[in-house]
Amino acid sequence: MNKKYFYYFIFCLLLFASYMFVLKDKKMSKERLQYLINKIDDYNTSYGTYPKSINNIGIPLDGNNHRESFCNMHETMLDGWGYCYYAYYDESNDYVIHIYSYLYISSYSSLTQEKETYLSIYQDI
């Protein structure tokens, strides 16, 4: 009988740890998105335009100097973990950010001013 309760306790402990990981992943994804939005808005305030590349906001990240930029997983300058994608569109003076963490995707568009965070579980084949 004691063995049954022990296994039940271990199962509940693992379930709780998984739930806490999912909550932390969502929180860190939102924090990373907000951090990038703040850095881009600071750049816009200073220079009067949005940066063409994410490298221009003062964070040394991987990316090109054209229209799209990427930041890698576990970037020490950014809170959280995951990949980020930034694109600037000259025509509409709009930029888009996508943050890809382990379980969540957070998106932001300056044109609509909407932040979205949704669960995305997929596997690359």
62-71: pLDDT as tens digits? 544 445 566 6
| Cα distance between residue 85 and residue 98, in whole Å | 5
Residue 25 · residue 73 · CB < 8 Å: no
pLDDT value, residue 123: 47
pLDDT value, residue 39: 86
Averaged pLDDT score across all residues of the chain: 79
Q: 81-107 b/e with 16+ CB inside 10 Å = b? A: bbebbbbbeeeeeebbbbbbbbebbbb
Q: Residue 106: which pLDDT band, with cuts at 50, 70 and 90?
A: confident
Per-residue pLDDT averaged across 96-106, rounded? Answer: 84
Residue 64 · residue 86 · CB < 8 Å: no
Please indicate, yes or no, whether the overall pTM of this predicted structure exceeds 0.85. no
| Cα distance between residue 33 and residue 21, in whole Å | 18
